[in-house]
Amino acid sequence: MKTAVIVTTYNRPDALAVVLEGYCGQSDHAFDLIVADDGSREETGDVVQQYVHRAPFSVTHIWQEDRGFRAAAIRNRALASTSADYVIFTDGDCVPSRHFVQVHKQLAQPGYFLGSNRVLLSAELTARVVCEQIPIHAWSGSEWARRWLRRDVNRMLPLVKLPDGLFRRWSPNRWSGIKTCNLSVWRTDLVRVNGLDASYEGWGLEDSDLVIRLLHAGVKHKNARFAATVFHLWHPEHDRAQLPANQERLQNLFRSNTVRATIGLDELGNV
């Protein structure tokens, strides 16, 4: 199963370096990694080039012009650039746990997408991690417990590891809380729904839109929590000026049977 990891980023080259180091430290290196860059300055390209030359997997940099928050559009461009059978979406401020890729691949099942969760780091710990390039992907459970006791992270429960089982398919229609910082989908299903909807601009809900359309298409949710965690580096809140408009668009989607994105992969003409 050919697998691609799509990592979105925007002008956080220090955080991206920590994330890419986390992928170099994965237990499974049988994947391609695509950096989906929403218009960063050249410093980000410099970081990506370092990993092009030293990572134990293929690294590609897909860039689009900076015209505001357009995460859906750049994810579609990244998706159009790969022929991988299976796609794992995440972000350039989310450091993968050591078996992150391996677990997503192991839990992958036809007819399902996988959603998992994250552990949030404090602003203080994040500043240290990105400044000193600390390899938190290699931290032991005891180190994370120590950080939780110091309130450097918001919770420990996601670090509990559970095997595959029927419980992972107990909420097949779940969409709430599933985000593209930790989501994996078969490429054929992504093509069927025309990818993400690039008519969403500005922060918020383009990932919910994708998940709801997958459900409309008959693709079900499988829970990857307690198996595939990411460690989310702190950042200030994004500008939410577009959120009300995006909420209205999502409510309209709820009331419909829409499957395909209004502006998606087809509009790129390169799927």
What's the token pair of residue 174? Answer: 């779940």
Residue 238 pLDDT:
67
pLDDT tens digits along 225-239: 999 999 999 988 766
Determine whether 243 is exposed, middle or buried from the number of CB atoms within 10 Å of its CB (0-12, 13-18, 19+). Answer: middle
Residues of the chain with pLDDT under 70: 238-239, 269-271
Q: Which CATH class is domain 3-268?
A: alpha beta
Q: Where do the domains of the chain lie?
A: 3-268
pTM to 2 decimal places: 0.96
CA distances from 171 to 94, 114, 168, 186, 220 (A): 25, 11, 8, 19, 9
- Produce one character per residue of 51-62: b if its CB has 16 or more CB atoms within 10 Å, e if not: beeebebebbbb
Residue 254 pLDDT:
87
Residue 271 pLDDT:
43
